[in-house]
Amino acid sequence: MEQGIWNLETLWFVLIAVLWIGFFFLEGFDFGVGILLPFIGKDDTERRVMINTIGPTWDGNEVWLLTAGGATFAAFPEWYATMFSGFYLPLFLILLALIIRGVAFEYRSKDRKPEWRNMWDGAIFVGSLLPALLFGVAFGNLVRGLEIDAAGEYVGGFWALLNPYSLVMGIASLVLFTLHGAIFLALKSDGEVRDRSAAASQPLAIAATVVMAAAMIWTYTLGDGGFVPGLLPILAIVLLGAVIGLTRSDMFGWAFICTGLTIVAVVAAIFIGMYPNVMTSTINPDYSLTVFNASSTTLTLQIMSIVALIFVPIVLVYQSWSYWVFRKRVGPRDVTTSTH
């Protein structure tokens, strides 16, 4: 296969990066709302307000994850096989958490008993926190590199994935998504929920800036196979610093744009730093999986490109329309007669 910048392998590597950016941007504030649920929502009405801010769109946001996984399987089957076998337990926990979270959104309204709803609210919290943490851990390992042998198989074991660097990356993603969710709630809710979310966003912005700065500085010190190039990580820290001032000035629209751009910058930097590798081997650089030795055939990539050209714009238009339809703020008055 042709090894250069202008090829289908690189195109699909970029498209997969875009899918992950879209997922983290949209699902990031969903995770944040779920993580904040037991802290911002002081009673059932306030928790219903929080859930209803993401109720119409959370499942649509997860389409980006499904598409990213499907695109990886079709475009880079060797990458998919190694990643999903090596990350089997973390990915299983993520999947289990997402399933429980989805069930909780639907089941909490089936009984008005406080014990019932508190149980499912706890499930929403755990089902949001685990993915927010573990996705950061997984991408931290992709940046750091993995123990991949000559057969293209991960041989490091589960505990090797929980190294200090990847855990810091996990904490960074957890705090960033929580901040993203707090700012979203400040934009999308009314009353006490809005006030508490606005207040929480300021210390969260400081925490996110500190943790992200530590993660990015550590990333720069990793050396070959883990270096994230360019100014994107610096831009991410600057944007988070700006969020601190914006939240203090009650400019939550701009703050939300800045947290969103931070997610874009960090994920883009990770993928740029990985290229042309998709999984870097710490055993021997020659064992690394690249966009060329892990890809499908040219015909497969051509067919996928045609399908993406047709359906991706349709999905974007539909999802944009759904956000426009449900753009209004949600307050206690909107849930008093609702079963949710």
pLDDT tens, position by position, 228-271: 556 888 899 999 999 999 999 999 999 999 999 999 999 999 99
Side chain identity at 20, as an amino acid letter? W
Per the structure, how many domains does the chain have? 1
Reported as a pLDDT band with limits 50, 70 and 90, residue 140 is very high
In a domain, 295, yes or no: yes
Residue 19 has pLDDT above 50, yes or no: yes
Quick check: is 170 in a domain?
yes
Tell me if 256 is assigned to some domain.
yes
Task: Output the CA–CA distances (angstroms, integers) from residue 44 to 58, 121, 340, in the order listed.
Answer: 20, 10, 10
Q: Comparing C-alpha atoms, which of 62, 34, 323 is closest to residue 178?
A: 34
Which of 63, 20, 72 is closest to 269 using CA atoms?
A: 20
Could you give the CA distance from residue 302 to residue 299 in angstroms, rounded to a whole number?
5
% of the chain surpassing 70 pLDDT: 95
Separation CA 27–CA 6 (nearest Å): 31
Q: What is the DSSP string of 149-189?
A: -TTS-B-S-SGGGS-HHHHHHHHHHHHHHHHHHHHHHHHHB
In a domain, residue 62? The reply is yes
* 227 band by pLDDT with thresholds 50, 70 and 90: very low
pLDDT for the residue 171: 97
Residue 336: pLDDT over 80: no
Q: Does position 11 have pLDDT exceeding 70, yes or no?
A: yes
Residue 338 lies in a domain: no
Residues facing residue 279 across a β-bridge? 289
pLDDT at 339: 46
Residue 132: closest CA among 183, 173, 185, 88: 173
Q: What is the distance between the alpha carbons of residues 145 and 287, in angstroms, rounded to a whole number? A: 11
Quick check: is 336 in a domain?
A: no
pLDDT band at 148 (very low <50, low <70, confident <90, very high): very high
Alpha-carbon gap, residue 193 to 185, rounded angstroms: 7
Consecutive H or E run containing 333? none
Write out pLDDT tens, residues 270-328. Answer: 999 888 899 999 999 899 999 999 999 999 999 999 999 998 899 889 889 988 888 88
The amino acid present at 141, given as its one-letter code, is N
Encoded tokens for 92:
């299983």
Give the 3-state secondary structure of residue 337. Answer: coil
Range of the domain at 117: 8-327
User: SS3 sequence, 51-119?
Assistant: HHHHCCCHHHHCHHHHHHHHHHHHHCHHHHHHHHHHCHHHHHHHHHHHHHHHHHHHHHHHCCCHHHHHH
Residue 214 lies in a domain: yes
Structural domain contains residue 32: yes
- pLDDT reading at 41 higher than 60: yes
Q: How confident is the model at residue 189 (pLDDT cuts 50, 70, 90)?
A: very high
Q: Over range 132-153, report the average pLDDT.
A: 92
Provide the whole-model pTM: 0.92
Contact 137, 168 (CB under 8 A): no
